[in-house]
Amino acid sequence: MRVLILGGDGYLGWPTAMDFAAAGHECCVADNYLRRHIAEATDSEALMVAPSLTERAQIFRAASGYHIDVRIGDLSDPEVMFEIVRDFSPDTIIHYAEQPSAPYSMRGFREAQETFQNNLNVTFNCIWAVKDLVPDCQIVKLGTMGEYGTPNIDIEEGWIEIEHKGRKDTFLFPRAAGSLYHTTKVLDTDLLWFYVRTYGLRVTDLMQGPVYGISTEEADLDPRLCPHFHYDDIFGTLVNRFLVQAVAGVPLTVYGGGGQTRGYLNLRDTLQCVRLAAGNPAKRGELRIFNQLTEIFTVNEVAERVKTVGDKMGLDVAIKSIPNPRKEKEEHYYNPTHSGLRELGLIPHYMTDDVVAATLERIIANKDRIVTGRIMPRVRWN
């Protein structure tokens, strides 16, 4: 396959690129370092320093022998998107190129506008580049389980048959997200679905839960290949943030009641899922949706899990509820279906004590790099 990874510098984009390259695919990453710039501007830098994409590609080549093509450019500019797609001529595009922080998107007008315009314009340009230049190319788009919000009914995989007043039809599953960032992904899905059914594009939209972890086959080849590992309130996902707090001796900050329930997955499973989706493309005119998660936990369960393992390692972990900076239900029904990727062959890496301990060890080795001022929430929804 000729795989173009949009957002190839990201927490998921970079290990995905190495994973595809190591599997023998022609691989190109495109990014404009938006996330790095936002991290600098908001004092939210990752735990380990990452070399530039060009340098990482060189390090990866030296360590593994595999080549990754690197393009630096702003994909929200249609000229940049069209030039890269024309030049690389992919048969598979993995689209990660979105501003991924919910708190950042809720910080104020400027940040909301930046998120809204970047995310929607990249998706729009991607659709048009495929439609006009490589119409048979599949798009694998990273959505989020957050698109669905927390409805009081079972969450199906993207679609639902509704019976209403004696008649039936099938529709996109209802969506109601909890931040502007998540809402941009709802709009992405609407936009993709319009162009899929109108022009016969082939799209897989992956509704992914919060990802945790730092280790992948390729990332472990050299510490400089490590994905951006964020523990701050802006980019840090829940599990990663708790793990760093455990090491730093900062009580695990549970937002509000801690009953918020989500479906999580290991970084290694993100790579598996994306590779499975790309290896089994959607048909022309199909918007295929998978719910991408392996285990369901409440925030309190995640905190307890980290505490149990951390305490065994002598970290003496405390847990502390703080006022919830977000607007979200803290007790709710949550039952998402997630069988599609299992049926394609996904073998989950669960959040075992060993997995938690191994990640804690990596963080302990970088303990002196932790800046505790980045941990507490700096953005409120209201």
CB 201 → its own copies: shortest distance, Å? Answer: 13
Span near its own copies by CB under 8 A; candidates 8-16, 65-73, 165-173, 220-228: 165-173
Query: Catalytic site residue 212?
Result: no
CB atoms within 10 A of CB 287: 22
Give the Cα separation of 193 and 79 in Å (integer).
Answer: 23
- Cα(56)–Cα(5) distance, rounded to whole angstroms? 15
154 part of the interface to its own copies, by CB under 8 A:
yes
Residue (33 or 381) nearer to its own copies, CB: 381
**332 lines the binding site for its own copies (CB under 8 A):** no
Q: Which of 41, 61, 86, 198 binds its own copies (CB under 8 A)?
A: 198
CA distance 217 to 16: 11
Could you identify the residue written with the tokens 């369960």? 301
Q: Please identify which residue in 183, 204, 245, 272 interacts with its own copies, judged by CB under 8 A.
A: 183
59 is a site residue for its own copies (CB under 8 A): no
Q: Which of 16, 42, 92, 144 is catalytic?
A: 144
Residue 32 sits in the site that holds its own copies (CB under 8 A): no
Q: Are strands 167-172 and 159-164 parallel, antiparallel or unpaired?
A: antiparallel
Residues 226-245 that bind its own copies (CB under 8 A): none
Please report how close the Cβ of residue 5 comes to its own copies at its closest, in angstroms.
Answer: 23
Segment near its own copies (CB under 8 A); pick from 37-45, 107-115, 242-250, 297-305: 107-115
Binding of its own copies by 314 (CB under 8 A): no
Is 376 a binding residue for its own copies by CB under 8 A? The answer is no
308 in active site: no
Length of the chain: 382
Which residue pairs, CB below 8 angstroms and at least 24 apart, start in 350-357? 350/266, 350/294, 350/295, 351/212, 351/239, 351/264, 351/266, 351/295, 351/297, 351/305, 353/305, 353/308, 353/309, 353/312, 355/213, 355/266, 356/243, 356/305, 356/306, 356/309, 357/309, 357/312, 357/313
At residue 123, the 3 state secondary structure works out as helix
Task: Tell me how far, at minimum, the Cβ of 187 lies from its own copies, in Å.
Answer: 5
Does residue 180 belong to the site contacting its own copies (CB under 8 A)? yes
For residue 125, the minimal CB distance to its own copies (Å) is 8
| H helix runs in the chain, sequence order | 13-22, 34-41, 53-64, 78-88, 102-105, 109-133, 180-199, 238-248, 267-279, 299-312, 340-344, 353-364
| 77 binds its own copies, rule: CB under 8 A | no
Q: Note whether 126 and 170 are within 8 A (CB).
A: no
Q: Does 371 bind its own copies (CB under 8 A)?
A: no
Does residue 132 belong to the site contacting its own copies (CB under 8 A)? Answer: yes
Regarding 323 and contact with its own copies (CB under 8 A), the answer is: no
- Taking the complex as a whole, the smallest distance from the CB of residue 209 to its own copies amounts, in Å, to 20
Applying CB under 8 A, among 197, 312, 367, 380 the residue interacting with its own copies is 197
Decide: 72 and 31 in contact? Cβ < 8 Å.
yes
State yes or no: is 181 an active-site residue. yes
| Closer of 190 and 217 to its own copies (Cβ) | 190
Q: Which two tokens stand for residue 264?
A: 């999580």
Contact region with its own copies (CB under 8 A), list: 38-46, 121-129, 267-275, 308-316? 121-129
CA distances from 311 to 54, 255, 266, 267, 317 (A): 40, 21, 22, 24, 6
Among the listed residues 190, 217, 311, 353, the single contact to its own copies using CB under 8 A? 190
> Nearest 5°: CA angle at 45, between 40 and 48?
135
CA nearest to 201, candidates 292, 118, 140, 273? 140
Q: Which is nearer to its own copies, 167 or 283 (CB)?
A: 167
Binding site for its own copies (CB under 8 A): 78, 109, 112-113, 116-117, 120-121, 124, 128, 132, 151-154, 160, 162-165, 167-169, 171-172, 174-177, 180, 183, 186-187, 190-191, 193-194, 197-199, 327, 333, 381-382
